[in-house]
Chains A and B, each alone.
Chain A
Amino acid sequence: MKFVNLSTRLICMATILFTVASTLPAGLESAELSALEVMQAVENRDDGETMISKLTMILIDKKKHKRVRKIMGFRKDYGKDVKSINFFLSPPKIKNTSFLSYDWDDENKEDDNWLYLPALRKDKRISAAGKKDPFMGSDFSYSDMNGLELIDWQYRFKKRSVKIKGIDCWAIEGVPKKERADKVIEETGYWKTETWVRKDIFMAIRSKLYVVEEVKSNKKIKYFMVGDITQIQGIWTAKKLSMKTTKNKRTEHRTILLFDDIVYNQGVDDALFNRQQMKIGPP
């Protein structure tokens, strides 16, 4: 009888332990994660193989004047490469303008960005050197849209726990690795970043980006924030993105992106992502 009780108890304990272990939330494991691993997790977070969305882009200048553009966007991941095509729906003067982008993971391959101007009946390549340049005149640069190359950066925890809007986050500081500093600054224009990542869903919800300026006495900082976070088709999505550019603590310009009608992982044809499609328009 004793023997039976013991083994039963052992089996019970083992079962309990096993069950508990397998249901441990990722967060508990994360107590061991390094800053770099956090950032990798952020990058690797599922954002859908493909995505279709309607995007409203609001550009706000320092006098609070707004310009609104409506865009329909298609994205498809090809392993680590990303292709996307965006069609302007409004305002009427730039309707049917479209923007095609190939973001190659291989850092030796230059990204391809094309802008089609219907009035010109031609598409033009956007200079590759302009990765840190503004996307569509907004506060988001191309490198903002495509994400930073993690291997270029050195990350450390600024704070291992900080509450933002009641949710526990990491505060991570990043600086370019010394041997890659020139390239990083050339490409992204940042000499330092601070990122706040939600521990529960590994989403970067805030960033403070320190921009290199030619005129050293101008301190330029960009503030990135997300909001309206929900799950769509099981994928954590931020439906509102904001990027604010400040110079010497004065807001110079701000861009707000509002995503709607988001559809993930559903029939996005490869044929969309080429120069011909730019002229045809959205499917």
Chain B
Amino acid sequence: MSKIRARIETGMERFGEFVFDKRWFVIVFTILLTAFMMSRLPQLKFDMSTEGFLHEDDPQNLVYSDFKAQFGKDEMIIVMISPKDVFDLKFLHKLKGLHDELENSLPYIKEVRSLINARKTTGTADELLVEDLMETMPKSEEELAAFKQYVVNHPIYRNLLISEDGSFATVIIEPVAYTSAEDSGEGDENGFDDFDADDSSEQAPDRQVLTNKENAELIAAVSNILEKYNDDSFPLRMSGSPVVTSYLKFVMQGDMKRFTGLAILTIAIFLFIIFRRFSGVILPLIIVILSVIYAFALISIFGVSIKIPTVILPSFLLAIGIGASVHLVAMFYHVYRGDNKKAAIADALGHSGLPIVMTSLTTSISLASFATAKVAPIADIGIFASLGVVMSLALTLLLLPSLLAVVPIKPTITPDQGERLSRMDRVLLRSCDLAVDHPWRVLIISGLIVGFLSVGLLRLEFSHDVLRWYKKQSAVRQNAELIDEKMKGSLTVEIVIDTGVENGLYEPETMHKLDELSKKISRYDDKKGVFVGKTMSLADMLKEIHQALNENRDDYYVIPDDLQLIAQEFLLFENSGSNDFEDVVDSQFRKARLTAKVPWSDSVSYVSFISSVRSDAAETFGDSASVTITGLVVLLMVAVDAMMQSMATSYTIAFVFITILMVILIGDVKLGLISMIPNIVPIVITMGIMGWVGINLDMFSLLIGSIAIGLAVDDTIHYLHNFKRYYLRSGDVREAVEHTMMTAGRAMLVTSIVLTTGFWLFMFSSMNNLFNFGLLTGFTLIFAFLADILIVPAILTLLTKGKTDSTVHESNRLSTEQHN
């Protein structure tokens, strides 16, 4: 094995010489490549939608698209007004003003609904009247009182347009689900083309989901209008899922910029502290910054959109990439005496090249293990972070030596640097001694800690609570929570009942079942945050019509039992000018939509709700209809499920691959397997702590495991690589360990500090999820470092006990002399 290693090291030295010779070529090529990559950056797309959480062809996404194509979007912008009294003439006039202005000036909307244009279905002896609730504004106190009475007595408005206690009113804005091509103006005669065909072939303009930009435009427009109307007597709040997700994007983007900047700054500071020279700061930074640019350029080239988790990618790549450059640069300064750069570069690459390649590969693989994740943005991070690390490696091996060759560098002479580090050295050496002298103690105590904490693993729960990512004081969160409380929910679960036949919904039995299911579902309340505030369906509309056709008598608010009657009542309604049927049924009267209003909650909580709905539906309809459940909430829930699956698979893949690599690297199966212990321990500790403290496992903390394995393995590789070299030379464990500490150990400590700080920067985020992620990952890295400097030497000591062979010692000394 050592022969192969020696050969590889020599190969690396040759490579270093080669790069030195070709340094200008490398530099020029890199400049050109960078120019190309940067030109791709402006085409980057953002996608902060919930649909983006799942892959485009995920069956759930397809069901959701079908639903939107038929019934429109289920995501509404909700404007809530809390006046002193809703039933007040002044307030109602202002409400009308607001309503009209929204209708007239907002882009990308399908409809605006409020008490102003809510449907009022009444009947006289002769007539069925379907009109707007406030077709004419009440003018006198009597009219106002009559109006109030009507609203209060008709349940369709409650918990939708007015709160149960009557103190809050809402305006609901429905955005379009799809936008089409720009109107080419009135001069087109294309409208007449399809006359002779009975079916018109599908239209030219392509369907495009409302983009983030358009969504943001809409929300900004609403916001501007609200500002004009907002005052003490007309306090306005805005919420709804489009708002929550839009601000999410805004915040995440801001965070991304901030962290990238901070990360660069922190790394620069540390580099300066360590190396005390300009080149020591700039060169490694160039390498990692380029790798970030390339990674994003690749994202753009592949047409992938940047999603919420992708936001951590820059600071992530910066932190991970810096280790390789630091090791190489450190080694270079160590061997460079001021005269022969070529030799110094070759030497540095010979020493550090192999471990750098190994660490990059293991990190890359552990990230790539996420590429198969069902959660699309996690898969994206997996792929592009993995590629970023590979590119970082290439840059470290090619560009960095070239730059070192070209840039003027002062040789190392700094004694004070040595003194500074000696404090560090003393700490490191003390830990060595501890591990070598008392290996059993170290191992047992570690084992106990891990054992205790791993119980916490059992208490870990998955969570995906988008609203609670926002800090408690954030306006977005508070508005959403208030609307949820007062209007009994601001999200919906959409249930589509397909009878399978045209006019299937004319059947009284079917309508009764629809009504029954609505009632069953509306009773759900898990007392933990998920409840159904209201259900709405065609059954309600039918009851409304039937009542109106029978002198508005309350006892006629029922489903009629005559099929002909149902068919004809629908016909009459259609003729009365309302197109409200479009919202709840298809034109064939085959599919009905049942909407259940729910509040924001952890997606995991919806799992029980959805399965309850499914069993209620099966119970009610049996085989007579097929029931589909979709909507934003369902997508969120499925994303959680996908997360859990991804985690299990990815961790397993990563673990297996890395173990294999470690075995190859170390050249010894037993040792290779054992070397995985210090890699697993930090993760178990962190997750255990999370379990005990009650921090939930979400999309971001999920990534911790993968990141931690990749980075912890880096430390272990460097450690073992150097240990093996020194042990072979000296035959003495203690000496080998100490020597390792002084070389690799120092670099490991430095990179661990840099990385931990880099991740702790996320604690500056305005989002709870990123805060936790940063905090926990930072700690995990500290544990990884400690595991490497304590557990590894302890194990090595035990394994090599009694093997201090003088023969080995002699032969090694000989070979060392030869080597030198």
B575 is contacted by which of A136, A217, A253 (Cβ under 8 Å)? Answer: A136
Contact between B565 and A249 (Cβ–Cβ < 8 Å)? no
Interface segment, one of B103-111, B399-407, B642-650: B103-111
**Does residue A35 face the partner (Cβ distance < 8 Å to B)?**
no
Q: What residues on B are CB-neighbors of A129 within 8 Å?
A: 131, 577
Q: What residues on A are CB-neighbors of B586 within 8 Å?
A: 61, 63, 65
CA distance A58 to B587 in the complex (A): 12
**Does residue B474 face the partner (Cβ distance < 8 Å to A)?**
no
Interface segment, one of A7-15, A21-29, A120-128, A149-157: A120-128
A117 is contacted by which of B70, B109, B506, B571 (Cβ under 8 Å)? Answer: B571
Contact between B574 and A136 (Cβ–Cβ < 8 Å)? yes
Of A115, A118, A124, A137, the most chain B CB neighbours within 10 A belong to A124
Indicate whether A97 sits within 8 Å of B571 (C-beta atoms), given known contacts A61-B587, A119-B564, A215-B109.
yes
What are 19 inter-chain pairs, A to B, with CB distance below 8 A? A67-B502, A93-B564, A97-B571, A117-B565, A117-B572, A118-B568, A119-B562, A125-B128, A127-B128, A127-B130, A129-B577, A134-B574, A137-B574, A208-B191, A216-B105, A217-B106, A219-B183, A249-B180, A249-B205
Interface residue ranges, A against B (CB under 8 Å): 58-61, 63-65, 67, 91, 93-94, 97, 115, 117-120, 122, 124-127, 129-130, 132-137, 206, 208, 210, 214-219, 221, 223, 225, 227, 242, 244, 246, 248-251, 253-254, 256
B572 is contacted by which of A60, A124, A216, A242 (Cβ under 8 Å)? Answer: A124
Indicate whether A124 sits within 8 Å of B106 (C-beta atoms), given known contacts A65-B588, A215-B111.
no
Q: What residues on A are CB-neighbors of B564 within 8 Å?
A: 93-94, 118-119
Indicate whether A120 sits within 8 Å of B588 (C-beta atoms), given known contacts A127-B576, A215-B112.
no
CB contacts under 8 Å to A, within B565-615, are: 565, 567-569, 571-572, 574-577, 579, 586-588
Question: What's the minimum C-beta distance from A245 to chain B, rounded to whole angstroms?
Answer: 10
Contact between B576 and A93 (Cβ–Cβ < 8 Å)? no
Q: Once A and B bind, how many residue pairs between them come within 8 Å at the CB atom?
A: 145
Q: What residues on A are CB-neighbors of B110 within 8 Å?
A: 215, 218
Indicate whether A251 sits within 8 Å of B200 (C-beta atoms), given known contacts A93-B503, A133-B576.
yes
**Does residue B126 face the partner (Cβ distance < 8 Å to A)?**
yes
**Does residue B203 face the partner (Cβ distance < 8 Å to A)?**
yes
B203 is contacted by which of A91, A215, A250 (Cβ under 8 Å)? Answer: A250
The 4 residue pairs across chains A and B that have the minimum distance between CB atoms: A133-B577, A119-B565, A93-B567, A61-B587
Question: What's the minimum C-beta distance from B560 to chain A, rounded to whole angstroms?
Answer: 8
The proximity string for B residues 542-570 relative to A, scoring 1 for CB distances below 8 Å and 0 otherwise, is: 00000001000000000000111101110
Q: What residues on B are CB-neighbors of A64 within 8 Å?
A: 199
The proximity string for B residues 440-479 relative to A, scoring 1 for CB distances below 8 Å and 0 otherwise, is: 0000000000000000000000000000000000000000
A93 is contacted by which of B200, B563, B574, B575 (Cβ under 8 Å)? Answer: B563
Contact between A248 and B199 (Cβ–Cβ < 8 Å)? no
Contact between A227 and B568 (Cβ–Cβ < 8 Å)? no
Indicate whether A217 sits within 8 Å of B195 (C-beta atoms), given known contacts A61-B586, A127-B577.
no
Question: What's the minimum C-beta distance from B332 to chain A, rounded to whole angstroms?
Answer: 63
CA distance A134 to B567 in the complex (A): 17
Q: What residues on B are CB-neighbors of A248 within 8 Å?
A: 179-180, 183
**Does residue B339 face the partner (Cβ distance < 8 Å to A)?**
no
Q: What residues on B are CB-neighbors of A217 within 8 Å?
A: 106-109
A134 is contacted by which of B549, B562, B577 (Cβ under 8 Å)? Answer: B577
Contact between A256 and B198 (Cβ–Cβ < 8 Å)? yes
CA distance A118 to B70 in the complex (A): 31
Give the size range of B's interface with the partner: 35 or more
Contact between B126 and A124 (Cβ–Cβ < 8 Å)? yes
The proximity string for B residues 179-222 relative to A, scoring 1 for CB distances below 8 Å and 0 otherwise, is: 11101101000011011101110010100000000000000000
CA distance A177 to B668 in the complex (A): 94
Q: What residues on A are CB-neighbors of B179 within 8 Å?
A: 248
Given A118-B564, A227-B196, A249-B180, list of 6 further CB < 8 A pairs? Answer: A63-B587, A94-B564, A135-B575, A217-B106, A249-B205, A251-B203
**Does residue B151 face the partner (Cβ distance < 8 Å to A)?**
no
Of B574, B575, B586, the most chain A CB neighbours within 10 A belong to B575
Contact between B203 and A134 (Cβ–Cβ < 8 Å)? no
Output the nearest chain B residue to A69 by Cβ-Cβ distance. B571
CA distance A67 to B585 in the complex (A): 15
Output the nearest chain B residue to A208 by Cβ-Cβ distance. B191
A216 is contacted by which of B104, B503, B565 (Cβ under 8 Å)? Answer: B104
**Does residue B58 face the partner (Cβ distance < 8 Å to A)?**
no
Output the nearest chain B residue to A97 by Cβ-Cβ distance. B568
Of B104, B195, B586, the most chain A CB neighbours within 10 A belong to B195
Contact between A127 and B568 (Cβ–Cβ < 8 Å)? no
B191 is contacted by which of A135, A214, A246 (Cβ under 8 Å)? Answer: A246
CA distance A260 to B200 in the complex (A): 23
Q: What residues on B are CB-neighbors of A97 within 8 Å?
A: 568, 571
Q: What residues on B are CB-neighbors of A223 within 8 Å?
A: 191-192
**Does residue B129 face the partner (Cβ distance < 8 Å to A)?**
yes
CA distance A171 to B585 in the complex (A): 39
Output the nearest chain A residue to B207 by Cβ-Cβ distance. A250
Contact between B203 and A133 (Cβ–Cβ < 8 Å)? no
A249 is contacted by which of B105, B109, B181, B574 (Cβ under 8 Å)? Answer: B181
Indicate whether A216 sits within 8 Å of B103 (C-beta atoms), given known contacts A119-B568, A120-B568, A130-B576.
yes
Question: What's the minimum C-beta distance from A15 to chain B, rounded to whole angstroms?
Answer: 47
CA distance A246 to B188 in the complex (A): 13
Q: What residues on A are CB-neighbors of B587 within 8 Å?
A: 59, 61, 63, 65, 67, 253
Q: What residues on B are CB-neighbors of A214 within 8 Å?
A: 103, 111-112, 117
Contact between B127 and A124 (Cβ–Cβ < 8 Å)? yes
Contact between A206 and B192 (Cβ–Cβ < 8 Å)? yes
Output the nearest chain A residue to B565 by Cβ-Cβ distance. A119
CA distance A1 to B406 in the complex (A): 124
Q: What residues on B are CB-neighbors of A127 within 8 Å?
A: 127-131, 576-577
Contact between B128 and A124 (Cβ–Cβ < 8 Å)? yes
Indicate whether A225 sits within 8 Å of B569 (C-beta atoms), given known contacts A127-B577, A134-B574, A217-B107.
no
Question: What's the minimum C-beta distance from B106 to chain A, rounded to whole angstroms?
Answer: 7
CA distance A251 to B565 in the complex (A): 31
Contact between A130 and B577 (Cβ–Cβ < 8 Å)? yes
Contact between B571 and A94 (Cβ–Cβ < 8 Å)? yes
Output the nearest chain A residue to B106 by Cβ-Cβ distance. A217
Question: What's the minimum C-beta distance from B264 to chain A, rounded to whole angstroms?
Answer: 43
The proximity string for B residues 63-104 relative to A, scoring 1 for CB distances below 8 Å and 0 otherwise, is: 000000010000000000000000000000000000000011
Q: What residues on A are CB-neighbors of B569 within 8 Å?
A: 117, 119-120
Question: What's the minimum C-beta distance from A26 to chain B, rounded to whole angstroms?
Answer: 26
Q: What residues on B are CB-neighbors of A256 within 8 Å?
A: 198
Q: What residues on B are CB-neighbors of A93 within 8 Å?
A: 503, 506, 563-564, 567-568
